[in-house]
Structures are given as C-alpha cells and as structure tokens.
Chains A and B, each alone.
Chain A
Amino acid sequence: MGSFLRSTWTISVFTWREGMRKKTLIGFFILSILTIFGSSVLTAYVAPTSGTSTPSEIESKMIKDICLTTISIFGVLITIFISASVVPNEVENKVIYTVLSKPIRRFQYLLGKFIGVQLTVILNLVLMGILFCIAVYSKEGIFPSLLIWAILLTYCEFLVISAFTFAVSCSATSAVLPTIGGLFIYIIGNLTEYLKDVANRVGESTVLADKIVRETAYWLYMVLPNLQKFSLKNQVLYLSVNDPPKDAQIPQVIAYALACTVVGYIIALWVFRRKEL
C-alpha cells in the first residue's frame, strides 16, 4: 500500500512539475495576474455615478466583479488546457511507454495524472485567489472570508470540468478534441438551468414532438453537470465580503462535485483500461 501511494504520488508530482512549465499555462496565469492588478488601478479612476452607492462601494464592486470573472475565465482555460493535454501529450511523446511498462497499474497511472492536474490547477487558483483577496482587503480593510468560500466553490467547478475533460482526453490521440470537449462541458454545464426551463415550458402537452423535446431536455438536465451550483458571484457582489455565504448548501455542493469527479474518473478509466498504446 505504501509503495502504491508513493508511486502514484511520484506520477502526480512529475505531472505537476511538467504542467507548471507549459508556456500556454504560464501565459494565461500572467494575463490573469495583470488583470487582477489592473482592476485595482483602473477602478480608482472611475467617476462616481448617480445613485445611493458611494464611490468606494462601486469601486470595490467593480474589483470583485472583474477579479471573479478573470479567475473564472482564466481558471477554466488553465483547467481545460491542462486536463486535456497531460495524457495525450504523454502518449504523443511516447514517455507513456516507459511509464506504463513499470509496475504501475493503469488506474494508478490515471489517478497520479489526475492528482497532478489538480495540484497544478489548485496552485494557480490559490495564487490568483491570494492576489484577489489582497486587492479587496486593501480597498475594504476587512478579511474577505466570503471570497474564500467563492474560490473554494470555483475550485469545485474546475474539478468537475477537469474530470470530464480528462475522461475525454483518455480516448483522444491529441489535446485538440478534449480541449473542445472541455469548453463544451463548461458552456453546457452553465446552461443546464435553461434545460429545466425548456422542460417546464413544454408543459404537459401530449403532442409527440413536444413530448420528445420535454423528455430530452429533462434527461439532459439530469445527466449533465450543473455548474451554476458553484457560483457565489451574486453574493460576493452584493453582500459584505466578510459575511458567511447565504443559503448555499456548501457541503451538498462539494459532495456533488466529488460525485461528478468520481463519475468522470470512472469514465476515464473505462476508456483507458484496454487502450492500445
């Protein structure tokens, strides 16, 4: 058992070290850092508009909005990019031959790779998050605990996207298809609420076409991961930054993310188990 964990961890650390050198990833990361910094500088020049808000409230809301959006977009890009590429790259550059010929089981290899991807994603997110918190703290002077919850849930969203992108990548021969797949999962995952709307709006109509639409929409809603569950954006924007998150069932949401991840990993394993290299 000890050696099982040790070898898995070896693969994770290796994947992480390799991941942190990817130029695309470093590029995304630098861009996000610049945006987060830029937002604090930029907002200082925004003139107060009418209304009851004070200039400093508007300023801090803008910072929060820009930073959350930045973290979400760049974070997702980094996540998709890295999850889509680790396995196909290793197949392509044939390093996988030397790794899988060692006493390493395929599920162990995938586990190591997946954990390595998570280490990379987490490190990026933590760095961006710290800068975000510093930016907000320097404006408001209070510890932004709500942001930490928001970032935690953002990570859960990344985890789900990562798991499904990873699953797609295990059947692909290059990183292109899984990257597109990952973006697709991200977009669809954020639209699943609409599917429920569609299902409801079709209503109880007994026309065949309507029935098909309703059933399809309903099933897609049930099957696809719902990424809206992970967003605390409205609370971050409209509540005070040291408030606890309001009526978000955080443990349930985390459990949901973990369940989605397990499903993603099982799909990945099922695809990869007998893959010919």
Chain B
Amino acid sequence: MSAVIETKNLTKVYEGGRRGQDVHALKNLTLTVSTGEIFGYLGPNGSGKTTTIKMLLSLMFPTSGSIAILGRKDYGASDVKRKIGYLPEGAYYPEFLKGEEVLRYYGQLYGLHGSTLEKRISEVLDIVGMSRARKRLVRGYSKGMRQRIGLGQALISDPQILVLDEPTTGLDPIARKEIRDILIRLRDEGKTLLISSHELLEVELISNRVGILYEGDLKAMGSITELLTDRDVTLEVRGASPEALQRLTAKGIQSESQPQGVSLLRVPNTMSVYEVLEYCKNEKITLVSVAPRRETLEELFVRVVGAAQNEKKG
C-alpha cells in the first residue's frame, strides 16, 4: 500500500494580534493515509482537524513541515488537485443556482464539459440521492440536501482522493446510513478517503484506520483492530438484587443495570469467567448470555483525550 497523503512534522501557528496570542493549531503532525483506505480523523472541537484539511487543499499554508500528496511535494498543482474531491465543513453553495447548476459549475472548474459532464451530473445526483431536487434552487434546500449536493460536488470529477470535513453532520439517521454506504462503496472502488468526524460510532463502522488529535498533537493513530484490542467479557444476567450487585462490586466486578431487571457484569482482567460465574451461582443470579466485548472507539477516544487532558492539567 502506498501513501496517498503524507505529512511530516506539519505545524501551523495562527498569529494572534499581540505577543503570546498565537494559536498553535497543529504541532509536528506526521500522518500517512494509504491507498484504498478510509482514514477517520478524530479530535475534540478546536483540535486542528479543519486546519490540517485546509492545508492539504492549499487553502492555508504550513508554518513548517511538509505535505506530499500522491508523492508530490507540489501538492497545490492543478494536476494533483484534479484528483482530489473536497467537502468543506458546513455547507455553503451558490444560493442562486439550481442543484444541477452547482454541479455543472464545479464540474467545469475541474475541466469537464459537454456530454461527459452532463452524464456525470446525472450519475452523481443519483449517487447522492438528489435527482428529484436537481431543478430546485439551493436557496430552498434543507441542511441535509445541501450536505448531499456538497458531497456531489466533491464527487463530480470522480476523484481518486476524497477529503471530507464532517460529511454527516446534521443529517438524519437514514441519510447517515446512505452516506456511509456511499463512502464504503467508494472505498471498495479503490478510492482513498480522509474523513474528519465527531460521529465515533460511524467512524468505527467504516474506517480502516483512525487518528486522534488533541490540541494539535496526534495522540493515537493506527488501524481499528490495533487500537481497539482491549477485549474483555461481559455477562448478561437477570434477577440480581441490588444487594447482590453491591457484594459483587465489592469483589471488583463492575455492573451496569439495564431495563427489565437485566444487568451487565464486566469480568475484570484479574479474574476468570468461571470465578465470576461461581459468584453468580452463589448469589442465585440467572445467566442470560456470555459475550466477548471489544472496547468501542468512543471509549478509546474518551480514554485518549481524557489522558491528554489530565497530562495538561498536572
């Protein structure tokens, strides 16, 4: 797998008006996104995701460090940009144009024209599910429709690389699912995607690799399987009295109450499943299921960001 997007010690400082007001938005970011993968770019608000993405598209320029896209150091050149589709954060498109005119405009900027362009416009409108609204003015579009037309303009040139800044923000659950399916399909076609997002469940579902940014520092990076190895076992039980649960907690078995008298017991690393089962049997608790459990991306995120926050405080 070759690197499609590569940054080395990428640093960005926004100069404040006065001394000491500078914002160090990105600190020595070294990041690689490889061919055919979906890279989930995560981080709390203001951690520098949009800043990174804007630099990749030469909307801003690095304070120091380097960027290479498709191995090219002159990543701002037209022939490189022709291969990149970009969806900016938030959705702003020329209000006075119709949906299809927006795609036509951006398609022409990519150098497409004539029947090739018209055919592609119809295809893309189909992909993003906007065929029926193609003749309506963008002014009258809802947030989700704007987001879809935005995805459409990113796809119009059938680019090899897609850089999407929060593509599903503001969409309803069905639309999210649809967009997710589109993104997976694009990856399966061999495209490379860099997606910034706050939707950790979604990112976990579609990404091959993720990076977690905190105040401009990359705190974790790796494949989902690498990062979320922390496996443990959970017992689903029924009929446990609060007192019984308390006694279990005293032994170091954490529990979580769920509706309809169901509780989840987490088997700690220090005990075997049989030990816990033995306790349950003694407490006359009914076992419903035993399931291995992988740490979720959300838990990883909270752990990584929480650790970074603590480190900063103390």
Contact residues of A with B, CB < 8 Å? 3, 6-7, 10-11, 14, 17-18, 21, 93-95, 97-105, 274, 276-277
Known contacts A14-B94, A21-B96, A277-B54: A102-B106 contact under CB 8 Å: yes
The A-contacting residues of B in range 47-77, CB under 8 angstroms, are 54, 57-61
Known contacts A7-B111, A103-B81: A18-B94 contact under CB 8 Å: yes
What residues of chain A lie closer than 8 Å to B142, measured between beta carbons? none
Which segment of B82-90, B189-197, B214-222 sits at the interface?
Answer: B82-90
Q: Taking chain A's interface residues, is the majority helix, strand, or loop, or is none over half, making it mixed?
A: helix
Known contacts A3-B111, A277-B54, A277-B60: A101-B105 contact under CB 8 Å: no
Contact residues of B with A, CB < 8 Å? 54, 57-61, 78-79, 81-82, 84, 86, 88, 90, 92-96, 105-106, 108-111, 113, 150, 153
Q: Could you list 13 further interchain pairs (A-B, Cβ under 8 angstroms) beyond the known A93-B95, A276-B60? A: A6-B108, A6-B113, A7-B108, A14-B105, A93-B92, A94-B92, A97-B54, A97-B86, A98-B93, A101-B57, A101-B81, A102-B110, A105-B78
* 6 pairs from A and B in contact (CB 8 Å cutoff): A7-B108, A7-B109, A7-B111, A94-B88, A95-B92, A103-B111
Within the complex, what minimum Cβ distance (angstroms) separates A4 from chain B? 9
What residues of chain B lie closer than 8 Å to A97, measured between beta carbons? 54, 57, 59, 86, 88, 92
- Interchain CA distance A230-B58 in the complex, whole Å: 41
What residues of chain A lie closer than 8 Å to B95, measured between beta carbons? 93
Residue of A nearest to B78 (CB): A103
Within the complex, what minimum Cβ distance (angstroms) separates A104 from chain B? 6
What residues of chain A lie closer than 8 Å to B81, measured between beta carbons? 101-104
Q: Is the CB of A10 within 8 A of B61?
A: no
Within the complex, what minimum Cβ distance (angstroms) separates B140 from chain A? 16
- Interchain CA distance A50-B141 in the complex, whole Å: 66
Q: Is the CB of B109 within 8 A of A103?
A: yes
What residues of chain B lie closer than 8 Å to A98, measured between beta carbons? 86, 88, 92-93, 106, 150, 153
- Interchain CA distance A81-B231 in the complex, whole Å: 64
Q: Is the CB of B109 within 8 A of A102?
A: yes
- Interchain CA distance A167-B213 in the complex, whole Å: 38
Q: Is the CB of B110 within 8 A of A103?
A: yes
What residues of chain B lie closer than 8 Å to A100, measured between beta carbons? 57-59
- Interchain CA distance A94-B60 in the complex, whole Å: 14
What residues of chain A lie closer than 8 Å to B108, measured between beta carbons? 6-7, 10
Within the complex, what minimum Cβ distance (angstroms) separates A94 from chain B? 4
Within the complex, what minimum Cβ distance (angstroms) separates B268 from chain A? 49
- Interchain CA distance A11-B79 in the complex, whole Å: 19
Known contacts A10-B109, A99-B109, A101-B86: A17-B96 contact under CB 8 Å: yes
Question: Interface centre among B61, B79, B93, B111, by most A CB within 10 Å?
Answer: B111
Known contacts A94-B92, A274-B61: A6-B84 contact under CB 8 Å: no
Within the complex, what minimum Cβ distance (angstroms) separates B228 from chain A? 33
Q: Is the CB of A101 within 8 A of B92?
A: no
- Interchain CA distance A99-B95 in the complex, whole Å: 14
Within the complex, what minimum Cβ distance (angstroms) separates B301 from chain A? 27
What residues of chain B lie closer than 8 Å to A102, measured between beta carbons? 81, 106, 109-110
- Interchain CA distance A98-B81 in the complex, whole Å: 12
Residue of B nearest to A94 (CB): B92
Within the complex, what minimum Cβ distance (angstroms) separates A87 from chain B? 14
What residues of chain A lie closer than 8 Å to B57, measured between beta carbons? 97, 100-101
Within the complex, what minimum Cβ distance (angstroms) separates A10 from chain B? 4
Residue of A nearest to B104 (CB): A10
Within the complex, what minimum Cβ distance (angstroms) separates B11 from chain A? 14
Within the complex, what minimum Cβ distance (angstroms) separates A274 from chain B? 6
- Interchain CA distance A94-B165 in the complex, whole Å: 14
Within the complex, what minimum Cβ distance (angstroms) separates A57 from chain B? 47
Within the complex, what minimum Cβ distance (angstroms) separates A99 from chain B? 7
Known contacts A7-B109, A11-B109: A103-B79 contact under CB 8 Å: yes
- Interchain CA distance A95-B150 in the complex, whole Å: 11
- Interchain CA distance A93-B57 in the complex, whole Å: 18
Q: Is the CB of A101 within 8 A of B59?
A: yes
- Interchain CA distance A276-B54 in the complex, whole Å: 9
- Interchain CA distance A274-B60 in the complex, whole Å: 8
What residues of chain B lie closer than 8 Å to A105, measured between beta carbons? 78
What residues of chain B lie closer than 8 Å to A18, measured between beta carbons? 94, 96
Q: Is the CB of B105 within 8 A of A10?
A: yes
- Interchain CA distance A18-B113 in the complex, whole Å: 21
- Interchain CA distance A7-B93 in the complex, whole Å: 18
What residues of chain B lie closer than 8 Å to A6, measured between beta carbons? 108, 111, 113
What residues of chain A lie closer than 8 Å to B92, measured between beta carbons? 93-95, 97-98
- Interchain CA distance A34-B153 in the complex, whole Å: 42
Residue of B nearest to A102 (CB): B109
What residues of chain A lie closer than 8 Å to B110, measured between beta carbons? 102-103
- Interchain CA distance A105-B76 in the complex, whole Å: 8
What residues of chain B lie closer than 8 Å to A274, measured between beta carbons? 61
